[in-house]
Structure 1
Amino acid sequence: MTTTDARPQTGETVDGLPRPTLATRLAAPAPGWTVEADAVVVGSGIAGLTAALELRTRVPRVLLVTKDRLASGSTVWAQGGIAAALDPSDSPSAHLVDTLVAGGGLCDPRAVEVLVTEGPARVRELVARGARFDRAPDGRISLTREGGHHADRIAHAGGDATGAEISRALVAQIEAVRGDPGIEVIEHALVLDVLTGPPGPDGRPGPACGVTIHVIGEGQRDGVGAALGKAVVLATGGIGQVYRSSTNPAQATGDGIAAALRAGAVLGDVEFVQFHPTVLWLGAGVKGQLTLVSEAVRGEGAYLLDTDGVRFMPDVHPMAELAPRDVVAHAIVRRMAATGSEHVWLDARHLGASFLRRRFPTIHERLAEHDIDLGKDLVPVAPAQHYHSGGVVADLVGRTSLTGLYAVGEVACTGVHGANRLASNSLLEGLVFAHRAARHISDEVARGALRHGEPSVRPGDEALVAAAARGRVQRIATDGPGVLRDGPGLRRATTALAAVPTDAHTRLDDGRLLAAPQLAEWETTNVHQVATVLTAAALAREESRGGHARSDFPEQVDEWRLRLTARLDEDARLTLHRTPID
């Protein structure tokens, strides 16, 4: 993991705009209780559950913290499947090539090699843990194809309920050991900040030594507490609620990325946001989590038509509807503009109603709720935020730039995805790198390299953004660093985000506080901070590549074949750095 860069952008301005100064902690009450563990895992998707299960057998005590119930998070919503070279005719090297191509030249080849070579074994371990994948008539795991893949390597469960089945199996494993004194689960708990030790000689925060959490009215451990650990594993998922509409659940408010940034960790590839091409369009005013129509539907042969009935993808890319997601999403947006429409059509009617009901039962049911029959009707679709390819920079064992802090899954930037995630690589990444992180943490704990530390108050301001401002922030992010971006729009977004009050806990309105520290305000503060970093990175990268498309810089530029990293300097000002790809 390289964090030293050749061309830092550390002046007073970025593209003529003042560099943002961000808070180093959330405004919150002091912790009223404390719990200790060898490792604190935050999140209960595939990455968090895998890390917790692996750590339980390797260190004396693990604490698993999740924002909702164990069976919540983005993993449950994964429809398509998990990619791995399981067929004898396929190979990890072929999977590697497809991943590198989709990543637009920004993948770390070493990380991708780890993913594709260790992936098949990790999937088989999932089966051993009780995950029931769909089977072919010969008893082998049934495999299909999605965009960007040149082989059938997508394992799925329940047709289009793969994430739900994986989550069920892993949660069952956790539930089976709930009585084990070596593991504790705290549900309905929002992580506020990563706790750090005293700063070093350079003034940077010390090692991570735990997290502060707010338990939402559950049991005796209510209010704010401190979970102290020798290692902290962030597995908090994505940033979907930064945008006005997303396929992500309501919990995806960028908590892990924001907490890591405030603690002094390095972020990377933040500007690369994947907008899923085919999300059910229900009108311009619809907000919140939207219904995804899996890429696997196109993998089975569905077409995209514009509102004039013209199939347009064959003229855009040799793989037509199975081109990488960024290509399809951008093509749809341009076609919508050309036809003056707010959506395009997904046509699966030729595949047959009985096949579609059997292959995609979940999608069929969700569309039926809106009186749409996948086997008989054209389905209105448009791109919406789906996945974040960037995150907290982490190496091949999940280590971040902050000693003791690890990041796995969507919250991490391992270099696997580069500028654009290859379909169904996300579940595999969480699985592979959570396993690696758990092994590394256990080794470091065993040799005494990771120890309990004493938390220290970080210098800098604390922040709180009123929950009422969330819609405003989401609108700014959607209009600025959205599907298609340009300099003027990003500069407007930068200015608008800087104007959002971040001192709601001290600002008076008619003699009353604008807002008090509580769940919705903490989440909104995280949304605001992530939107600020995302916009700054999108403004700085003057090219189009993968999930970052700028109409004013439409071409991919060799000079930009690098990673933009972001961190807070000693004065808590946001700095961007051009970092070579290892």
Structure 2
Amino acid sequence: MTIPDLRGLAGQPVIVGGGLAGVMTALMYDRPCVLLSSGPLGASHPAVASSMLAQGGIAAAVGADDTPALHAADTLAAGAGLCDPDVVERVTADGPDAIARLAAFGVRFDRAADGTLVLGLEAAHSRHRIVHARGDASGAAIMEALVARVRCTPRITVLENARVHALESHDGVVVGARVMMDGRDIAWPTSAVVLATGGIGGLFGDTTNPLGAVGQGLALAARAGAVLGNMEFVQFHPTALAARHVAGPLPLISEAVRGEGAVLIDEGGERFTTELAARDIVSRAVWRHMRAGHHVFLDARQVLGTRFATRFPAIDALCRAQGIDPAHQPIPVRPAAHYHMGGIVVDGRGRSTVPGLWACGEVACTGLHGANRLASNSLLEAVSFGTWVARDLSTLPPVTSPAPPRDMGAVAAVRPASHEAWRRRMARDAGVIRTRDDMREALRVFAPLAEGDDGALVRAMVLCAALRREESRGGHFRADFPQTAAVATASRLTLEDLREHAASFAAKADKMTQTPDNGVVA
């Protein structure tokens, strides 16, 4: 692609991310915009966005026995004291309209013979309120419809295989992005950048996310001076398929399977936890049982049996690819990094603390999830905040005489933000159960690399925030601080904070590892 092809796009908002939040922002915006996708945009390429892999569906209070207030109460309970009640009320109230907006864009939700929506139950929900599309392939079905609508919307320009590697700012205001396309470094002036780049699961050894989900947007925002919030809160899904031959993300065994009555057992057939407790509780129970030497399985034989393939066709296919027949065999499972509750701190319009920079979807910290995301609230958040970001962008005055994008020359390939040794270290030292000593040692590895490596930067910020939170709450559990503090306090972190606190933690670690004769313990 050459620069003349891009001149007509000068001054348009740049939306970074090809998942649900980015696509929804582009569709709801009423003027021309540019949508950047790090890979091919579309249903046949699920590695690009976690939205494609979503099985459970969207939580919305659309049932006859349900209300947004009940949905809000469940969300607040799961969030362990760190949700913003106003945001929770606003998002859950938007649930029914969000479903209607998606349907208007062509999403075909699963319905009963009488036309009513088929609603599923998931952990920590008090009502059946999970709206599905094509059974357990909800994310793919939703994205197929929305991507098709994007493709036929002339005001949306899609640029695929494009990555933003830096944000440009002037006097603390974002004024452009540096975009890598076709081996070229493009300086792209714009007064509005929307980050919808997804989560951080690819930074961990076991994850249900695409391995490219390495917190790119978080690093971009941090380097631009944005405040990040609640970075320590990582949700580990308790039932990822313990696959033997999977190089990428671990296949997810949806919470909806437990919602149907499947139970968690060990190799002796013994149940050891409550399957529909909040995800963090179930994940820790599974992790502890595994650390005690047990194998863990999800058993749907009694409640579904031969109906498993009909109720969960996509999961059935994933299991059979591993030589497992869920109708007659329990499914081996293990916890895996699944969702990041932290992110770029934004207000109700999706605006970050840096003018000119918006964020929505998993990369954002909106106040909805608190310390622990309620199942299937993430897609709802992406739809709602994508809509609200688009509406806010529509209030901005058009840019007059915008500068065109400039070709800054060839650019070298980006070094991967993750490799196996680092991923395993994060899974071990900042995983389901954490300790101060483990996290300090990991921070000593990543902090010195943070200035030049985005993956190391995000890892260091997660570790720093987790070390600062000396309690256990939601998705953050410390074996050395197992109690929950009486007062729930949200955490905030900037790049300058990281530099200060990383040095402090490293100094403490150095002091602790000195022997009486001043020799360093290996």
- Fold in common (TM above 0.5): yes
Question: Do the aligned partners of residues 451 and 436 (structure 1) sit closer, same or farther apart at CA in structure 2, a change above 3 Å counting?
Answer: farther
Residue 174 of structure 1 aligns with an amino acid whose one-letter code is V
User: For 2:193 and 2:227, how far apart are their aligned partners in 1?
Assistant: 15
1:79-478 mapped onto 2 (5 Å cutoff): 79-177=55-153, 180=154, 182-197=155-170, 199=171, 206-215=172-181, 217=182, 222-282=183-243, 288-313=248-273, 320-338=274-292, 340-341=293-294, 343-445=295-397, 467=416, 470-478=419-427
Secondary structure of the 1:482 match is: coil
The one of 459, 462, 486 aligned to 1:534: 462
What is the CA–CA distance in structure 2 between the aligned matches of 1:451 and 1:196, rounded to whole Å?
Answer: 19
CA shift in 2, pair 1:502/1:575, >3 Å = closer
Query: CA 1:468–1:564 in 2, change beyond 3 Å: closer, same or farther?
Result: closer
Q: Cα 1:564–1:33, aligned 2, differ >3 Å: closer, same or farther?
A: same
Change (3 A) 1:467 1:435: closer
1:289 to 1:159, Cα distance in 2 relative to 1, 3 A = same
The CA deviation string for residues 454-478 of structure 1, in whole angstroms up to 9 with x for no partner, is 99xxxxxxx9995497223222211
C-alpha separation in 1, matches of 2:304 and 2:208: 26
Shift of 1:288: 3.3
In structure 2, C-alpha distance between the alignment counterparts of 1:549 and 1:468, rounded to whole Å: 26
1:67 paired to 2:21: no
Are positions 1:481 and 2:435 aligned together?
no
1 CA distance for matches of 2:401 and 2:325? 57
- 1:19 corresponds to: none
Q: Distance in 2 between matches of 1:142 and 1:469?
A: 40
Q: Is contact 1:476-1:497 (8 Å) kept?
A: no
Inter-partner Cα distance in structure 1 for 2:342 and 2:133: 27
**Separation (CA, whole Å) in 2 of partners of 1:429 and 1:420:** 14
Q: What amino acid does structure 1 have at the position aligned with 2:90? A: V
Partner of 1:573: 499
Secondary structure of 1:474's match?
Answer: helix
What secondary structure, in the 3-state scheme, does the structure 2 residue paired with 1:279 have? strand
Conserved in 2, the CA contact under 8 Å of 1:305 and 1:344? yes
> CA 1:245–1:451 in structure 2 vs 1: closer, same or farther (change >3 Å)?
farther
SS of 1:230 mapped into structure 2 = coil
What SS is found at the alignment partner of 1:308? coil
Give the drift of 1:393. Answer: 0.4
**Percent identity between the two aligned chains:** 44
**Matching residue's letter, 1:47:** A
Aligned counterparts of 2:331 and 2:320: Cα–Cα separation in 1: 11
Secondary structure at 2:238 match in 1 = strand
**Residue identity matched to 1:370:** Q
Residues 574 and 229 of structure 1: CA distance in aligned 2, closer, same or farther (over 3 Å): farther
Q: Are the equivalent residues in 1 in contact too, given 2:447–2:456 (CA < 8 A)?
A: no
CA contact (8 A) 2:35 2:157 kept: yes
Q: Secondary structure at the match of 2:13?
A: strand
Alignment partners' CA distance in 2, 1:487 and 1:480: 9
Indicate how the Cα distance of structure 1 residues 472 and 408 shifts in structure 2: closer, same or farther if over 3 A, else same.
Answer: same
Q: Which amino acid aligns with 2:163?
A: L
User: How many angstroms does 1:250 deviate by?
Assistant: 2.6
Residues 196-231 of structure 1 show CA distances to partners (whole Å, capped at 9, x for unaligned) of: 11x3xxxxxx2112211111x3xxxx4111232221
Q: Does 1:563 align with 2:490?
A: yes
* Conservation of the 8 A alpha-carbon contact between 2:56 and 2:132: yes
The letter of the residue matching 1:52 is: A
Q: Tell me which of 416, 419, 440 is aligned to 1:491.
A: 440
Q: Indicate if the aligned counterparts of 2:214 and 2:418 stay in contact, CA closer than 8 A.
A: no
Q: Contact 1:389 / 1:419 at 8 angstroms: preserved in 2?
A: yes
Residue pairs, 1:496-511, within 5 angstroms = 496-498=445-447, 500=449
Q: CA deviation at 1:324?
A: 0.9
Residue 10 (structure 2) aligns with: 36
Contact 1:103 1:422 survives alignment (8 Å)? yes
Shift of 1:499: 5.2
Give, in whole Å, the separation in 1 of the partners of 2:413 and 2:260.
47
Paired with 1:68 and 1:157, the residues of 2 have a C-alpha distance of 24
Conserved 8 A contact 1:241-1:288: no
1:495 shift after superposition: 1.1
User: Is the 2:6–2:404 contact (alpha carbons within 8 Å) kept by the matching residues of 1?
Assistant: no
Distance of 1:451 and 1:402 partners within structure 2: 23
CA separation of 1:160 and 1:189: change in aligned 2, threshold 3 A:
same
Q: How far has the Cα of 1:183 moved from its partner?
A: 2.6
Change (3 A) 1:543 1:44: same
CA drift of 1:574 comes to 5.3
Task: Give the drift of 1:480.
Answer: 1.4
CA contact (8 A) 2:371 2:475 kept: yes
Q: How far is the alpha carbon of 1:282 from its aligned partner? A: 3.0
What are the ranges of 5 or more consecutive residues in structure 2 without an aligned counterpart?
A: 43-47, 406-411, 503-522
State whether residues 473 and 527 of structure 1, in contact with CA within 8 Å, keep that contact through their aligned partners in structure 2: no
Listed as ranges, the gaps of 5+ residues in structure 1 are 1-31, 200-205, 314-319, 456-462, 504-524, 577-582
Q: Give the match's secondary structure for 1:336.
A: helix
The one-letter amino acid paired with 2:482 is P
1:240 shift after superposition: 1.2
Deviation at 1:89, TM superposition (A): 1.3
CA deviations 1:501-560 (Å, max 9, x no partner) are 966xxxxxxxxxxxxxxxxxxxxx22211101001111111011111010000011124x
Paired residues of 1:81 and 1:163 also in contact (CA < 8 A) = yes
Q: Deviations over 1:271-330 (max 9, x none)?
A: 0000000001135x96531111000000111000123221122xxxxxx21111111101
Report the alpha carbon displacement of residue 573 of structure 1 after superposing the two structures with TM: 2.8
Deviations 1:346-384 (A, max 9, x none): 000012333211110000001100110111101110100
Residue 124 of structure 2 aligns to a residue in which SS?
A: coil
Pairs aligned (count): 486
Letter in 2 for 1:490: M
The residue identity in structure 1 corresponding to 2:39 is D
- From the superposition, tell whether residues 127 and 487 of structure 1 become closer, same or farther in structure 2 (CA, over 3 Å): same
| Paired amino acid for 2:165 | L
Q: Structure 1 residues 396, 467: closer, same or farther in 2, change over 3 A?
A: closer
